[in-house]
Amino acid sequence: MTTPPHTANERSYADLGRLGVEPLWRYYRNLFPAEPHSLAVPFLWRYHELRPHLLHFAQALSLEEAERRVLMLVNPGMQDPPATVNSLYAGIQVVTPGETAQAHRHSAGAFRFVIEGEGAYTTVDGARLRMRPGDLLLTPGWSWHDHRHEGTGPMMWLDALDYPLVNALEAGFFETYDQRSQDIRAPRDLPASQYVHGRLVPAWDTERATASLVGNHTWEETRRAFDAIAHDAVGSDVDGIVLEYTDPWSGGPVMPTLSCRIQRLPPGFRGAARRRTPGTIHHVVSGRGTALVDGRTLDWRDKDVFAVPGWAWCELTNTSRTEDAFVFSYSNEPVLRALGLYRETLTERMG
Ligand code: GTQ
């Protein structure tokens, strides 16, 4: 056995790795950066470019050959494992008339936001939820879900899951249901009809669920909420008229890990810049505008999706002089808040 020399030369480092140790001083700055540096980059996915590919695979690949027919929106900085921003995923799913996407469940939380088509529904823990453009359908972690299309024409929606976060926490579980689709155990859209009564919510369920019991938030309900807000309401400097989808019982986010929002940017709106720790995925419901993200301009229009990495500066503009823009977005903000890791900074708008 040799005694290490009293100089920190390469030889003295050579044996460390196989002993399962590393010198902290060589890693320190990377492990404790002054501020976060996301691997994700600002990125925009144009729906009109993706749509023909979705339609191609809708013809070319049967749902028997794929668990789900989805194009994943993979951030160029986050390819392995694929993710859209650090902790979150987005994909666009296509289902054709007569198809059923196999029932399954996973511990990752998920939801759908419908982009186009009519006549499909998703069944969540035996409750059938209709899907229409602009609707938000929740499939909280570990709930059984299958999708069935009984309409005409293709049906496309945005899928969101937090599997990048769940897998990083090594808490990912998955099961396939023993039938292709679940039997319907509850009348259509029952959860919403039982649980949404404005500020009065049912108190008979003593066991609190970890996620909202309201499985669907229709575009009609969202539209009504916006219509009830005066058109000259001031809203947020950063986000305009921004609304959070909530669990009616807790008043908190719809799922323990996921916050879902929808914002209305009035014509010509130019938001103040902000950065915040959660990476955020945006989906444009309607309108056109720009997102200036860490100096990069993303030109968005209806049905596009764009990624804003965590701690990136972001400034949203509605470039239309006449039309409102409606933008849906989601993040793991509840996770960061629960862990004391939520931070944001704002700048005053220049000029
Ligand atoms: O529809 O259940 O985009 O399990 C990725 C994983 C959709 C789904 C995705 C999934 C689903």
What distance in Å separates the CA atoms of residue 209 and residue 230, rounded to the nearest whole number? Answer: 34
Residue 73 CA, ligand 1 centroid: distance in Å: 13
Residue to mutate (ligand 1; options 67, 88, 92, 107; most atoms within 8 A of CB): 67
CB of 265 closer than 8 Å to CB of 237: no
Helices (H) and strands (E) in the chain, counts: 7, 22
CB of 71 closer than 8 Å to CB of 53: yes
The winner for highest mean pLDDT among 14-18, 37-41, 191-195 is 37-41
Nearest CA to ligand 1 atom 8: 68
CB of 280 closer than 8 Å to CB of 331: yes
Residue 83 CA, ligand 1 centroid: distance in Å: 13
Residue to mutate (ligand 1; options 70, 122, 163; most atoms within 8 A of CB): 70
Report whether pLDDT(274) > 70: yes
Per-residue model confidence as pLDDT tens digits over 287-308: 999 999 999 999 999 999 999 9
CB of 334 closer than 8 Å to CB of 252: yes
> What is the pLDDT confidence band of residue 71, given thresholds at 50, 70 and 90?
very high
Residues with CB under 6 A from ligand 1: 68, 70, 91, 93, 101, 106, 145, 159, 161
Residue listed under structure tokens 């219509």: 227
Q: End-to-end CA distance of the chain, in Å?
A: 69
What distance in Å separates the CA atoms of residue 321 and residue 287, rounded to the nearest whole number? Answer: 11
Per-residue model confidence as pLDDT tens digits over 159-217: 999 999 999 999 999 999 999 999 988 766 666 666 666 677 777 765 667 778 778 89
Window from 15-29, 197-211, 332-346 with minimum mean pLDDT:
197-211
Span 6-31, average pLDDT? 91
Residue 340 CA, ligand 1 centroid: distance in Å: 30
Residue to mutate (ligand 1; options 63, 69, 92, 93; most atoms within 8 A of CB): 93
Give percent of the chain with pLDDT exceeding 70.
93
Beta-carbon-side half-sphere exposure of residue 236 (alpha carbons within 13 Å): 18
What distance in Å separates the CA atoms of residue 73 and residue 159, rounded to the nearest whole number? Answer: 10
CB of 349 closer than 8 Å to CB of 270: yes
What distance in Å separates the CA atoms of residue 327 and residue 144, rounded to the nearest whole number? Answer: 28
Two tokens, residue 208: 């609190």
Residue 245 CA, ligand 1 centroid: distance in Å: 21
Which of the four CATH numbers 2.60.120.10, 2.40.110.10, 3.40.50.10680, 2.40.40.20 does domain 43-346 have? 2.60.120.10
Window from 8-22, 157-171, 204-218, 315-329 with minimum mean pLDDT:
204-218
Span 112-141, average pLDDT? 95
User: Collapsing DSSP states into helix, strand and coil, what is residue 62?
Assistant: coil
Output the pTM of the full model.
0.94
Nearest CA to ligand 1 atom 11: 68
